[in-house]
Amino acid sequence: MLTRDEIQALEEKIVHVVKNIYDPEVPVNIYELGLIYEVKVFEDGKSRVVMTLTAPNCPVAESLPAEVKEEIGQLNGITEVDLEITFDPPWNQDMMSDEAKLELGML
């Protein structure tokens, strides 16, 4: 069983991992793009990540979620990765961080 501090540390590690995964069409990581809706780790080491794609017909609709799941699954302490893809709410540019908007010349 993980402690509250261990859970928080693992959630932070997951965020760090997804900040190193980039949408191949945009030079911004998927976290700053606003594609990650939820990151949760439970006492048994199972993790739940809810994410979206920029569009349902996104060219990386299969490979990007698989990469996210694989990278998170490699973290020490994570026993399972439940990755959910959702389009509710639909992604839009307002979900991007200021850092992402700056990188893309939108600020």
Using the predicted structure, report yes or no on whether residue 47 has a pLDDT greater than 90.
yes
Residue 10 in any domain: the answer is yes
Residue 107 in any domain: the answer is no
**Domain residues for 22?**
4-97
Give the model's confidence band at 4: pLDDT under 50 very low, under 70 low, under 90 confident, else very high: very high
**The pTM is what?**
0.92
Give the model's confidence band at 100: pLDDT under 50 very low, under 70 low, under 90 confident, else very high: very high
Give the model's confidence band at 24: pLDDT under 50 very low, under 70 low, under 90 confident, else very high: confident
Residue 84 in any domain: the answer is yes
The residue with tokens 């026993």 is 79
CATH of the domain at 48: 3.30.300.130
Residue 29 in any domain: the answer is yes
**Tally of domains within the chain:** 1
Burial degree of 103 (CB within 10 A; 0-12, 13-18, 19+): middle
- Between 43 and 57, whose confidence is greater? 43
pLDDT of residue 60: 85
